[in-house]
């Protein structure tokens, strides 16, 4: 079977930055280490007043098309994954196509367009749809453009406020890809959950603590389901494991759980499952409390082993580098984690061709998905072409008052006629709700 997967990727960060230990923590009266060590975050990216999900997505896609020398005719499908959409009818992909058509002679009239929604996992679902479209032979030699774009904002004062972020990831999905081939095997863990909702509201209603447990439970189910089709996963099978990263501290928990599973240690059964009431506690424990204490003790001991620390440093930590500086990008987050790991490998001069990634995606509501990817021999060239460091360094660092103003601006209720902190340069800019971005 022909290899299908991600041929190229581009990242577009919101042009503003909020420093968490320096600016956010003092305002909240919190110890800066709660953010840097506890959540594992240094900063968040925010969109300037002339940026939104359309402009960030279009800018990432445009850069990708330019770099790969593509014309609209080369693209047979544009899928946008987002949970920040402002239009319940017209998909964001039509707005993005409108932007891109301003700068190309051709158009996307014969490309299929859509919008995917399932919280953060929608980015991976779109990727999957695009791969299946190619595998089914419907692409007529063309590639698919998958764009994951979000402004991940919480109400001011919400516990999630520290984990905000904004940015877009554009991916080109093709036959014989240069970056990674996706496995056809996938595993899912999916259940109707209500810990993170946005029913006709822009900011989510979140039960933060519970959302962490739901993430872990669904991820474990997805891993087990993946193994049922792909065979047992072992700790050395994968060079990196990029997971959905709402904040790095979440991935620290998920990694420990995954590690315990892959080393096949069943000394304490069904960890965490009792906490969300889905399974009875094992008989060996007289009370839930006793069971939870034993579990915590066990997990802490496992975390303290050299073997775990080495595995974590090699397989997980490199996936978190970009996330620490940008926060949660919702649909783009796991795709940023993949780039982060490969970028580290490039900088370390590692040869990764043929090595495998274990990719764990997650979306509240809730669903986790696990699949494997095989790194292709063009990966170094693709990574070398990215300018992530420059983008992050060029962000305007907001004072607290700037942050409050921009947060209001991106609440869809508000008038958008406010100050711009940065000057747009050769990029699409927001042009009013319901209109595509203009290129400046």
Contacts of 328 (CB under 8 A, 6+ apart): 120, 152, 163, 164, 165, 245, 246, 247
Rounded least distance, CB 6 to ligand HMG, Å: 21
Q: Using CB under 6 A, which of 12, 259, 329, 330 touches ligand HMG?
A: 330
Q: Following DSSP, what letter does each residue of 264-326 receive, concatenated?
A: T--SS-STTTGGGTSSPPPTT-SSHHHHHHHHHHHHHHHHTSHHHHHHHHHHTGGGGHHHHHH
Closest approach, Cβ 120 to ligand HMG, in A, equals 3
Nearest residue to ligand HMG, by Cβ distance, number only: 38
Is 413 annotated in the active site?
Answer: no
- Does 147 bind ligand HMG (CB under 6 A)? Our answer is no
Q: Which is nearer to ligand HMG, 315 or 364 (CB)?
A: 364
**Which residue number, 172 or 368, has a Cβ lying nearer to ligand HMG?**
368
Q: Select from 61, 96, 119, 320 the one that contacts ligand HMG (CB under 6 A).
A: 119
The two three-digit tokens of residue 271, written as one number: 């960890």
Residue 378 binds ligand HMG (CB under 6 A): no
The residues, ordered by sequence, that sit 6+ positions from 394 with a Cβ below 8 Å of its Cβ are 15
Phi, psi (5° rounding) for residue 107? -140, 180
Phi, psi of 346 (to 5 degrees): -60, -45
The single residue of 10, 51, 62, 83 carrying the catalytic annotation is 83
Task: Give the helix ranges, DSSP H, for 104-247.
Answer: 122-135, 208-230
Specify the stretch interacting with ligand HMG by CB under 6 A; choose among 54-62, 72-80, 208-216, 408-416: 208-216
Closer to ligand HMG by CB, 238 or 362: give it: 362
* Closer by beta carbon to ligand HMG, 28 or else 67: 28
Can you tell me the distance from the alpha carbon of 12 to that of 255, in angstroms, rounded to the nearest whole number?
27
Rule CB under 6 A: say whether 362 interacts with ligand HMG: yes
**In whole angstroms, how far apart are CA 236 and each of 8, 311, 372, 385?**
26, 8, 13, 29
Using rule CB under 6 A, residue 72 touches ligand HMG: no
The residue count of the chain comes to 440
- Residue in 51, 99, 115, 120 annotated catalytic: 120
H-run or E-run covering 400? helix 400-409
Part of the chain binding ligand HMG (CB under 6 A), chosen from 41-49, 53-61, 362-370, 420-428: 362-370
CA 45/CA 325 separation, integer angstroms: 8
Stretch that binds ligand HMG, among 158-166, 229-237, 311-319, 405-413 (CB under 6 A): 158-166
DSSP letters spanning 65-111: HHHTT--GGGEEEEEEE-S--S-SSS-HHHHHHHHHHTTSSS--TTS
CA 202 from centre of chain: 19
**Rounded Cα–Cα distance for residues 156 and 202 (Å):** 12
Does residue 120 have an active-site annotation? Answer: yes
The interface with ligand HMG within residues 18-57 (CB under 6 A) comprises 31, 33-34, 37-39
Closer Cβ to ligand HMG, 120 or 255, answer by number: 120
Question: Cis peptide before 366, with omega less than 30 degrees from 0?
Answer: yes
Q: What is the dihedral of CA 302, 304, 310, 314, to 10 degrees?
A: 80
Residue 123, beta-bridge partner list: none
Size of the site for ligand HMG (CB under 6 A): 29
First-to-final CA distance of the chain? 44
Nearest approach, Cβ of 234 to ligand HMG (angstroms)? 26
**In angstroms, what is the minimal distance from the CB of 423 to ligand HMG?**
31
DSSP state, residue 158:
S
Q: Does 212 bind ligand HMG (CB under 6 A)?
A: yes
Rounded least distance, CB 85 to ligand HMG, Å: 13
Residue 196 contacts ligand HMG per CB under 6 A? yes
Q: Which of 167, 164, 129, 173 is nearest to 148 (CA)?
A: 167
Chosen residue from 209, 234, 264, 307 binding ligand HMG by CB under 6 A:
209
CB of 211 to ligand HMG, least distance (A): 4
Q: Does the footprint of ligand HMG cover residue 120 (CB under 6 A)?
A: yes
244 is catalytic: yes
Interacting residue with ligand HMG among 250, 342, 358, 372 (CB under 6 A):
250
Stretch that binds ligand HMG, among 62-70, 92-100, 206-214, 259-267 (CB under 6 A): 206-214
Query: Which sequence positions are flagged as catalytic?
Result: 83, 120, 244
Contact residues: ligand HMG, CB under 6 A: 31, 33-34, 37-39, 83, 119-120, 159-160, 162-163, 196, 206, 208-209, 211-212, 215, 244, 246, 249-250, 328, 330, 362-364
């Amino acid at each position: 079977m022909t290899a299908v997967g991600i041929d190229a990727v581009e990242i577009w960060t919101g042009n503003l930055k909020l420093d968490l230990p320096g600016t956010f923590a003092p305002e909240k009266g919190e110890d800066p280490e709660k953010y840097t060590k506890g959540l594992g975050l240094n900063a968040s990216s925010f969109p300037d007043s002339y940026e939104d999900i359309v402009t960030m997505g279009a800018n990432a896609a445009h850069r990708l098309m330019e770099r790969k020398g593509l014309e609209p005719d080369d693209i047979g499908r544009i899928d946008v994954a987002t949970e920040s959409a402002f239009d319940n009818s017209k998909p964001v992909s039509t707005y993005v196509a409108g932007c891109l058509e301003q700068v190309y002679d051709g158009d996307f009239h014969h490309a299929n367009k859509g919008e995917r929604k399932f919280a953060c996992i929608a980015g991976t679902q779109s990727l999957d749809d695009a791969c299946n479209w190619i595998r089914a032979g419907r692409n007529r030699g063309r590639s698919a453009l998958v764009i994951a774009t979000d402004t991940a904002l919480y109400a001011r004062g919400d516990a999630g406020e520290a984990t905000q972020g904004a940015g877009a990831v554009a991916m080109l999905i093709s036959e014989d890809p240069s970056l990674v081939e996706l496995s056809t095997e996938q595993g899912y863990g999916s259940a109707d959950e209500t810990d993170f909702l946005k029913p006709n509201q822009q900011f989510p209603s979140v039960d933060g603590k519970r959302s962490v447990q739901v993430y872990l439970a669904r991820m474990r189910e997805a891993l087990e389901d993946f193994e049922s089709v792909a065979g047992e996963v072992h700790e050395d099978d994968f060079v990196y494991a990029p997971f959905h990263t709402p904040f790095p501290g979440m991935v620290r928990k998920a990694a420990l759980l995954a590690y315990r599973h892959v080393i096949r240690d069943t000394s304490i059964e069904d960890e965490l499952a009792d906490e969300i009431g889905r399974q009875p506690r094992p008989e060996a424990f007289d009370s839930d409390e006793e069971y939870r204490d034993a579990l915590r003790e066990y997990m802490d001991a496992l975390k303290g082993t050299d073997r775990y620390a080495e595995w974590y440093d090699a397989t997980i930590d490199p996936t978190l580098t970009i996330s620490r500086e940008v926060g949660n990008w919702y649909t783009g987050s796991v795709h940023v984690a993949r780039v982060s790991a490969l970028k580290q490998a490039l900088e370390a001069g590692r040869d990764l061709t043929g090595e495998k990634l274990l990719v764990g995606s997650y979306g509240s509501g809730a669903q986790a998905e696990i699949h494997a990817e095989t790194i292709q021999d063009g990966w170094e060239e693709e990574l070398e072409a990215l300018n992530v460091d420059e983008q992050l360094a060029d962000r305007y660092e907001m004072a607290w008052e700037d942050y409050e103003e921009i947060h209001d601006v991106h609440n869809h209720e508000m008038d958008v006629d406010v100050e711009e902190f940065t000057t747009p340069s050769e990029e699409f800019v927001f042009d009013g709700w319901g209109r595509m971005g203009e290129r400046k």
